[in-house]
Amino acid sequence: MDIIRKFLKSKNFWVSTAREFLFAFAFIAVVAGALYAYSGAWPPLVSVNGLSMHPHMQDGDLILIQKLSSDQIQTYEEAKLSGYKTFDGYGDVLVYRPFGRTDITPVIHRAMSRVNASSPMWEGSTLAPNSGFVTQGDNNYLFDQSCAICPNTPVQEDWILGVARFRIPYLGYVRSLIGIFGL
């Protein structure tokens, strides 16, 4: 205990610097732990890159996500009946990795509908090869499944990192910069 008291009260430059780094690290660990405890996902924060969710999410926004099972996710079709809205639109906004690929940037788009395997994904579309979600950006006219994002394949539950819950403007730029430096 005497060593701890000396460490906490020392005026030595190197000891006080180490103490400040230790407190900063402990603070960051507590915040990261709390975010993980809430979100159930790692990373709990993702940044928006692009304008596909404009005007409800902007390029450079930092988004807090929460992991949910697929039966807890509300689609646009379901939410329109109940009145449930997130980010000024009906239904939940998903953060997912197309085809489960970790080598590409996750997509942040709204869950429009649920489909079952061997059912049309929308009127006149091909049959879904698997059950999952049809998704679309709020600023897009095409479903992700009808373009190069996730062609002819609904978003599967194991591809979903989480559901967008909270938006912090501009802090996504900071997260993107940190990612550039490999941190």
Rounded mean pLDDT for each run of 10 residues along the chain, 183 residues in total: 82 88 89 85 86 93 93 96 96 96 93 97 94 97 95 96 94 72 42
159, 58, 66, 38: CA torsion to nearest 10: 150
**Sequence ranges of the domains in the chain:** 2-39, 45-180
CA-wise closest residue to 74 among 115, 123, 110: 110
Q: What's the pLDDT at 179?
A: 62
d(CA 156, CA 129): 11
Residues 45, 86: Cα–Cα separation, whole Å: 17
Token pair, residue 21, equals 């780094």
Task: Judge whether 77 and 123 are in contact, CB under 8 Å.
Answer: no
Kindly state the tokens that stand for 28. 């960051």
Residue 106 to residue 94: CA distance in whole angstroms: 10
Q: Whole-model pTM?
A: 0.84
- For domain 45-180, the CATH architecture is Ribbon (2.10)
Q: Is the dihedral of CA 12, 13, 15, 16 positive or negative?
A: positive
| Maximum pairwise Cα distance, the chain | 76
Beta strands in 23-176 (DSSP E): 45-47, 62-66, 85-86, 89-90, 93-96, 107-115, 132-136, 160-168
